[in-house]
Structure 1
Amino acid sequence: MDFVEYSAILKEFKSGSFDSISDDYDEICRAQDLLIAELTSKGAEIKGWKVVDDSGVLILSPIFDFQLFKSHDVSLSQKELLGIEVEICYQCCVPKSISDVKQSTDFCQPLASIEILRPKINDSSCNACDFYFNYGISVSSHAVSEDFKLENGNAKEITHYLGCNSDFFEEKKDILKKGVLECIRRGYVDDEYFFMTGSLNGLIATNISIGSNDVIHKGERLVSLEIL
């Protein structure tokens, strides 16, 4: 499957018209599972999950194989992109049992990532059934252990991510654990996924992101993607 086929399926999905994630949570999860089943039956494979806290309600948003980009040498057209966000991700094997969650998550290392966002595809569906506008994500192969920065676009605007200490990463790991628990509750178990733990900066619009966007940690480019 590619993004064109994926978009066509999302656009035609008729079971996603809800008003509120908190009010319609169970129905949204059922609709989301139906949509995931349709996509996977056509060859898509879930590689990760975006863990979303919507007004205190936690819901998962799947990231498929064709949305997972390399950490370097990625070039994307600005057409139909909203912009980018920087996140901390963790790679984790989801166990079958809640009792094994601590063991599965204890040694997961924080990875920097750039998420690329696109406009909503299905105007009538709840955001959760439109999978939160994810176009793709580039995840670093090396862990971050302290402060890092994003050099952004042709203007090379620099965003410093400070305070990346043990408390910060512990908070992010708590989000990872919540995501793993939600995977177990919904039956997405016994497989390895990466988990996105929330935007660090909010959306950086496409017009600011044209050019090279680089996540740099200790002088090393961990993630590099270009928007043309």
Structure 2
Amino acid sequence: MKRILPILKIIGLALAGIILLSSALLSVATAYIVFAPDDLPKPFYLVYAEAPSFPLNPVEPATPPLSENPEPPNAPHSYYVGEPVAGGAVLKVDPSSIEPGDGLMLNTGTKIVNLAEPGGRKYLKTTIVLEFAFIVPEDQETVSKDEEHSEDDPTAAIYDELNGLLPVINDVLTSLLSSKSFESIYTAEGKEQLRAEIMATLATRLPDYPLVYVYFTEFVIQ
């Protein structure tokens, strides 16, 4: 027994040393990841997602001028500002005439794309919600935004059209996101520039569906 006790003591000291060394290495690694500049190699990069907020001065997309001889209201997919759409249940308005949050929201889903980085080591995961300049008149009843769009919901028809445009919308979003580098979008200014580019591009591709704002409800770079 006397011979075993010194051996156990040595083993205990070795284990304690290993634990202390592991704790020290973990602390150093954590400090390096958090405080070291992002241009140095790291196992992963921290980017803090911003909670969505309504802008004080939302970016207004370019709105095509109204034609002096607009097409009749029943022309398919031909909407112009101030006219009822979706069978008269929804009104299309000038984006600058409504407050952010009052339009119709379309969740485009979560996007995961490789950024334009050497070796493709970084990728972006983001969820984008688009707000369109369509409103429901006060005399029209609608269901909660959290419920499914039923046949009695006056927004059901316009949501059907917007959902039908998702392939075009997602193509624009994926192309823009994958063309960005980490340095161009990890700052607040970079995100605002990306938001403005999305609005401008969609205004060109979908001129009959004016945007009020683009929301990033999730934005993580790794």
**What range describes the TM-score normalised by the shorter chain of this pair?**
under 0.3
> Which structure carries more strand by proportion?
1
- Answer 1 or 2: which has greater helix percent: 2
The structure with the larger Rg is: 2
TM-score normalised by length of structure 1: 0.24
